[in-house]
Chains A and B, each alone.
Chain A
Amino acid sequence: MGNGYAGKILVVDLTARTTSTLNTSDYAEWGGGHGMGSAIFWDLCKDKTVKAFDPGNVLTVMTGPLQGTLTPFASGRCEVQAIAPEGFPVEWYARSGFGGRMAGQLKYAGWDGIAVMGKADKPVWIDIRNQNVAIRDASASGDNLWGLDTVEVEKAIYKLVRSKDTVDWTQYGGSRDSGRSTMNPGVLSCGPAGENLGRCASLIHEGGGGAGQGGFGAVFGSKNLKSISVIGTGSIGVADPKALMEARAWAEANWWDIDNLKPGLPGMYTSRPSGALGADPIGNVGSRDNSCLGCYKSCHGGHSSRGLAPNSSCFDAFYNMMGPFSLNHASSDNATTTDRLQRMGINAWEAVMSIPWLVGLFRQGILGPGKQIDSNLNWADVGSEEFNKAWLEALAYRTDVGADLAEGCARAATKWGRYDQDTTSGALAICAHGYAHHYDARKEVEWGYGTALDARDINEHDVALTLYWYTSMAPLMGMPYIMPAKDMVEMIGATLLPYADPMMLDYSDEGIYSDAMVKFISWHRSYNRFWKQSGIFCDWGVTDWINPYTEGYKGLTPELEPKFYNAVTGKNLTFEDGMKIGTKIWNLDRAIFALQGRTRDLDALAEWQFVSSKAAAHSVYEIPYIMPAFENGEWSYKNVNSRMLDHAKFEDFKTRYYTFEGWDPKTGIATRETLEKLGLGKVADELAAAKKI
């Protein structure tokens, strides 16, 4: 029996080329995942003001108790965190995550996570085979991995780790008891974009699963680290195996049934697993959906008989359609372009946002051969296969206009003297901190406010899937709503524990600045910080708020999360207990931001969101934007698409939010009293030493 933890965290110092371990139990109060990663970062990163590419930056790849344990939506997730080069103007400490099979391999190898410190003197990769850890030469004089794309390097590592290229058992270690496996190792790599320190470089696993936002591929590159590979032949104990199997049976019975499909809810991927998004179209080839470890939603992307863009999903696979393709209706092959994007290891969001902006500059005669922004790419041919290839390679290898854009659009715009102008007009649709607009900060404010308060585009789809996608797409498709707005917000509002207040979901023009919304933003940050990012329940699996397979469409949240957590850990954690841990993690992250220089005025959104209501050019799907609104004493589904934000009201909202969290409204930094109440006295001490409180 056990508690879901492997018990140890691997620390790799690339400068000294040494390894050491931390006891997971010393960090168990944080749950796992991001919370544990932030706590380790706090302890290991002595100077939290260092730059992202400084050897002093500490990157952690973390699991938690639920990973590798049959917990749907959670079993296959890893969280990555470090000082993130994508942040602008400050490289805020940030997080990202990815699914696949690496989490299970890491746990079964005996590790709850990995912390990478320092910088190797030449390219290396980390080869983990159970408890045997080697820092291997990735240069041309060694295993020759540096310079390979993310697919090439993972295939090469499979060959290096496995004894032969079959499905047969491979033995690891010196004896038969040291372990055998039929599986390929879990591999996480940067591509050429990361090697060349592109600030929007992703980390890629299995060809498409990726930690995209934050630019952590470039942190790998800065450390001369090409890949981490892990194969685990051991096991993980759980507190109550029978309870875990019963929890799984409960989840099986209440979430999707291929033998008894219910009508899908538009926009929510409850009708078909979304894996086929990355696969080739019907009639062209054969394909299968593919899931992350232990999950059955298949968001991980598909595998096709053409072998293109495996495990790519959502915007990875939409990159071509939503960016280049949408501009001139060219006919380049989507799977081919997605495959190229993933091989280069480029964050799809940045690539998508930049294209409409750059095409606009081209059409204005500002960008092009011999123009103010000199570029010899064929901007008249955006969307073609030739352009896509040239464009992505320019970004990855810093050629042509990519020399500037590898620094990210925000830094490129600053260099070109266009940042203020283009982020005010919205031509460059940055949401906050240099990250591309995603869901609309002006309409769906938990996304916008959350991003402003956090370090990156938050990428938390709970509200987006249910109260934007479903509520907007149902009428567009001529489908009646499954329930009136009042019933919907009451059903979902009841899950917002400990508050259980449906008014927190009021997205009317008044509601988005209300005290109830203050409460919701606080709930949302804490919920995501613990259950999703430290639990680690995948953002696409939970929050399960609307479920066609249950009575009355009631989702599995908030029952699902603690049910699995307790079966695995043996604890008696309530949903609300998890929220308290989330608040603690959120305050720790904010303390890191504060040490990096975060002040109230940097909890900000780009200006265009206050002066324009038009949709961002790269988000053409956001029409209409129908959300629940409480007006004149009644709930309705209302199109709030024409809304823009108000500076004074936003600032007033921030003041009330800071106060609600126990933070100084002048600085946005937690007070000592708040930190000590959360058990973060040592954090308060470090903030005081830095004269932040």
Chain B
Amino acid sequence: MSENEEKKNEEVAAPQGGLSRRQFVTGLGGLGLGAILGGVITGGLTQPAAAIAIPGSEGYLVVDSHKCIGCDSCMMACSLTHHGNLSFSQSRIQITQNPFALYPDDLTVAQCRQCPFPACVEACPTGACHVDAANGNVRTVDPAKCIGCERCVNACPFTPSRAIWNGLEKHAEKCDLCADTPYWNEKGGADGKQACIAVCHMHVITLQKDVPVQAGDVGYNVNLRTKDGSAQLKLPTGDDGFYTPAEIAAAKAAAAAAAAAAAATAERISTTSGAAKPRNAR
């Protein structure tokens, strides 16, 4: 399976002074600015005709999918702290695993990108999916205003959609950086803690204040293994999730040293007992 494959590019693309919307958003994202767009018509419902300034989120979840051990604790914690119960389907971060796919394609981490230009917010006809100025401009859903049209779910340009349909409570929802977590004794939001980070023992997820590079996944799926104990644990630390040339060279040197030590031991046994026998030979 591929990581965070972008979908429906044509569907969401719109002219923007000669640039597609995606090109426009990508450029702005790299600068850490919010998006300023002209009037938008959405599904027959007229939005304000004047320019809309969309302030950037003050926090972004960034992950290292190569480091993830697939325990899915983040998913359960997300559901638990927001809803008081545990569920994979109610989680706003999705870990999808296929143990039979070849590493690193065996596991995908799909977290909300808090897009500088949030297609989910744009698509919402009621303002339920909105930018929450009171909570660090996180893009979130007010369930009370949600009419269940799922336009936010369908508008999300990523697979799987980061805006999700909660069939148990019957409304859309998305990552709010834990701004609304009534079942947790910690303060969430862009300036607070996030449940997925709190329960991730491998520290696969981190909160970043700066807007990540928007092109592809490089800004959101990063290498978090170079400054923790990964190298000490002999986990691969290369950006691609594989061992670096230095790690491979060190491993080969260690193997050669072990082989030499074994040969020396065999020689010593041969000298003292007359013959080297395989251990356990009977």
Mark A residues whose CB is within 8 Å of B.
1-2, 68-70, 75-76, 101, 104-105, 107-108, 151, 154-155, 158, 165-169, 175-184, 206-208, 232-238, 241-242, 244-246, 248-249, 252, 256, 258-261, 271-273, 275-276, 281-283, 285-296, 298, 303-307, 310-311, 326-329, 356, 359-360, 363, 617, 620
Residues of B within 8 A of A311 (CB): 99
Residues of A within 8 A of B14 (CB): none
Cβ contact within 8 Å between A70 and B232: no
Asked if B104 is at the interface (CB within 8 A of a chain A CB), the reply is yes
Cβ contact within 8 Å between B69 and A166: no
Bound: A669/B179 CA distance, A: 59
Residues of B within 8 A of A155 (CB): 100
> Can you list 16 A-B contacts with CB-CB less than 8 angstroms, sorted by A residue number?
A70-B86, A167-B94, A169-B160, A182-B88, A182-B160, A183-B96, A234-B89, A236-B87, A238-B80, A245-B183, A252-B201, A258-B233, A281-B251, A305-B103, A326-B280, A620-B280
Query: Provided the pairs A167-B159, A241-B184, A283-B247 are in contact, do residues A206 and B199 lie with their beta carbons within 8 angstroms?
Result: no
Asked if B98 is at the interface (CB within 8 A of a chain A CB), the reply is yes
Cβ contact within 8 Å between A307 and B101: yes
Cβ contact within 8 Å between B69 and A286: no
Interface size of B in residues (CB-CB distance below 8 Å): 80
Contact of A177 among B80, B98, B170, B199 (CB under 8 A): B170
Bound: A105/B75 CA distance, A: 13
Asked if B70 is at the interface (CB within 8 A of a chain A CB), the reply is yes
The A-B contact count (CB < 8 A) is: 256
Bound: A206/B248 CA distance, A: 29
Residues of B within 8 A of A235 (CB): 79, 83, 85-87, 89-90, 168
Within 8 A of A (CB), among B133-181: 150, 159-161, 164-165, 167-168, 170
Contact of A283 among B186, B199, B233, B252 (CB under 8 A): B252
Contact of B86 among A69, A285, A304 (CB under 8 A): A69
Within 8 A of A (CB), among B188-205: 195, 198-199, 201-203
Query: Provided the pairs A104-B88, A252-B199 are in contact, do residues A286 and B184 lie with their beta carbons within 8 angstroms?
Result: no
Query: Provided the pairs A237-B84, A245-B195 are in contact, do residues A327 and B89 lie with their beta carbons within 8 angstroms?
Result: no
Contact of B202 among A242, A282, A296 (CB under 8 A): A296
Cβ contact within 8 Å between B99 and A327: no
Asked if B57 is at the interface (CB within 8 A of a chain A CB), the reply is no
Query: Provided the pairs A282-B234, A288-B67, A360-B282 are in contact, do residues A233 and B103 lie with their beta carbons within 8 angstroms?
Result: no
Asked if B264 is at the interface (CB within 8 A of a chain A CB), the reply is no
Bound: A256/B86 CA distance, A: 25
Cβ contact within 8 Å between A182 and B110: yes
Cβ contact within 8 Å between B248 and A236: no
Extra 18 A-B pairs, beta carbons < 8 Å, given A168-B161, A326-B279: A75-B73, A168-B159, A180-B165, A182-B110, A208-B99, A235-B83, A249-B198, A252-B199, A259-B229, A272-B234, A273-B69, A282-B234, A288-B107, A290-B69, A291-B70, A296-B71, A304-B102, A310-B106
Contact of A305 among B5, B186, B242 (CB under 8 A): B242
Cβ contact within 8 Å between A327 and B183: no
Residues of B within 8 A of A290 (CB): 69-70, 99
Contact of B77 among A70, A169, A328, A356 (CB under 8 A): A70
Residues of B within 8 A of A184 (CB): 96-98
Mark B residues whose CB is within 8 Å of A.
1-2, 5, 66-73, 76-77, 79-81, 83-90, 94, 96-104, 106-108, 110, 150, 159-161, 164-165, 167-168, 170, 183-186, 195, 198-199, 201-203, 228-230, 232-236, 238, 240-243, 247-248, 251-252, 255, 278-282
Residues of B within 8 A of A295 (CB): 71
Bound: A241/B90 CA distance, A: 15
Cβ contact within 8 Å between A242 and B184: yes
A100 and chain B: residue at smallest CB distance = B99
Contact of A206 among B99, B170, B228 (CB under 8 A): B99
Cβ contact within 8 Å between B76 and A294: yes
Residues of B within 8 A of A275 (CB): 69
A286 and chain B: residue at smallest CB distance = B242
Residues of A within 8 A of B199 (CB): 70, 245, 248, 252
Residues of B within 8 A of A101 (CB): 72, 97
B169 to chain A minimum Cβ distance, whole angstroms, is 10
Cβ contact within 8 Å between A241 and B81: yes
Residues of A within 8 A of B242 (CB): 285-286, 305
Query: Provided the pairs A245-B195, A259-B228 are in contact, do residues A303 and B103 lie with their beta carbons within 8 angstroms?
Result: yes
Query: Provided the pairs A233-B88, A298-B69, A363-B282 are in contact, do residues A288 and B103 lie with their beta carbons within 8 angstroms?
Result: yes
Bound: A176/B107 CA distance, A: 25
Bound: A306/B168 CA distance, A: 39
Residues of B within 8 A of A271 (CB): 233
A328 and chain B: residue at smallest CB distance = B278
B150 and chain A: residue at smallest CB distance = A176
Residues of B within 8 A of A237 (CB): 84-86
